[in-house]
Copies of this chain bind each other. A is one copy, B any other.
Amino acid sequence: MNERAALSLVGGLVSAAGDDAAVVDGTVFTIDMLHDDTDFPAGTTRYTAGWRSVGASLSDVAAMGGDATAAVGVYGAPDFDADALTAFVTGALDVCEDVGAEYVGGDLDGHDEFTVATAAIGRAEDPVCRGGASAGEKLVVTGTLGRTAAAMALFEHGDTELANELFRFRPRVAAGRALAGHATAMMDSSDGLARSLHQLSEASDCGFAVDADSVPVAADLSDLVDDPLDAAVTYGEDFELVATVPEGAVDAVRAATDVPVSVVGDVTESGVTLDGEALPDRGWTH
């Protein structure tokens, strides 16, 4: 079966599953695995791998409106080169510092394919799930979309320095905290905006009408791909937050965070559309 069917199967077995992270007694808790084959194109530095892997888990905490407190990681590699390992751990430490969390170690594993597992915890007394959106609310997105699509093109072209820089996204923990008091539903955009909206639509039993001109397309993307808007909407792995908020709360959210918050459309009764056309459920499959 495909990954989505498998996730649905797990959801039937594990009552707490189905959001970006689980919440246990006010503690947000999440785990991720990234590896060479699907997540680290040739040219990805170990520093970037450490930053991005740990960042993915911190982003899950952010997506619940949680305040990230700590992260751990497993570095699985065919050999333990001192420089590579130091770079990885430094990236992990730095991304944690960027969001006010603490990187507290983990483990090593001899592994044929470079494989990283990361977990993060945080506090969230009032976590934001995926199921609370209602028609009439506004759909908002943090930052810009398409950074990872741009990075992948740059890795292919051999411009690895800028590609690595784009890969080191800043987890939206502070923006998630700003949204937490207002958002009715939230998740991160790791599967792409289109797929995220289909997931929110299913969880909240609502629809979305996205206005193409409002989508914050990453500046780096326009020279790199034929259809920047399509890449921004469907490529995924940008780890921005996608949330729904009452219209009256948009200004308060913006006032509470330095990260740009774009209103990209409306919550509707049903269907997911982009400028009135159906937006299919396609995007990143891990």
Q: Please, what's the 1-or-0 string for A1-26, where 1 marks a CB less than 8 Å from any CB in chain B?
A: 11101110111011011100010110
Asked whether, in the complex, the Cβ of A10 is within 8 Å of the Cβ of B121, the reply is: no
Complex-state Cα separation, A13 to B72, whole angstroms: 13
Asked whether, in the complex, the Cβ of B103 is within 8 Å of the Cβ of A31, the reply is: no
Complex-state Cα separation, A224 to B50, whole angstroms: 43
Within 8 A of B (CB), among A65-107: 69-70, 72-74, 76, 80-82, 85-86, 89-90, 93, 102-107
Asked whether, in the complex, the Cβ of A27 is within 8 Å of the Cβ of B121, the reply is: yes
Q: Is there a chain B Cβ closer than 8 Å to A115's Cβ?
A: yes
List 9 additional A-B contacts (Cβ < 8 Å) besides A27-B121, A33-B107: A3-B80, A3-B110, A6-B85, A13-B89, A13-B93, A22-B72, A27-B70, A74-B117, A112-B113
Contacts of A115 in B (CB 8 A): 33, 76, 111, 115
Contacts of A89 in B (CB 8 A): 10, 13-14
Asked whether, in the complex, the Cβ of B5 is within 8 Å of the Cβ of A105, the reply is: no
Chain A interface size band reads 35 or more
Asked whether, in the complex, the Cβ of B104 is within 8 Å of the Cβ of A9, the reply is: no
Chain A residues proximal to chain B, CB less than 8 Å: 1-3, 5-7, 9-11, 13-14, 16-18, 22, 24-25, 27, 29-33, 35, 37-38, 69-70, 72-74, 76, 80-82, 85-86, 89-90, 93, 102-113, 115, 117-119, 121, 286
Cβ of A57 to closest chain B Cβ, rounded Å = 9
Q: Within the oligomer, what is the number of copies of this chain?
A: 2
Name the one of B2, B31, B102 contacting A74, with C-beta atoms under 8 angstroms: B31
Complex-state Cα separation, A105 to B5, whole angstroms: 15
Asked whether, in the complex, the Cβ of A22 is within 8 Å of the Cβ of B70, the reply is: yes
Name the one of B6, B111, B286 contacting A33, with C-beta atoms under 8 angstroms: B111
- Nearest chain-B residue to A92 (Cβ)? B14
Cβ of A120 to closest chain B Cβ, rounded Å = 9
Complex-state Cα separation, A27 to B9, whole angstroms: 30
Contacts of A80 in B (CB 8 A): 1-3, 5-6
Asked whether, in the complex, the Cβ of B105 is within 8 Å of the Cβ of A18, the reply is: yes
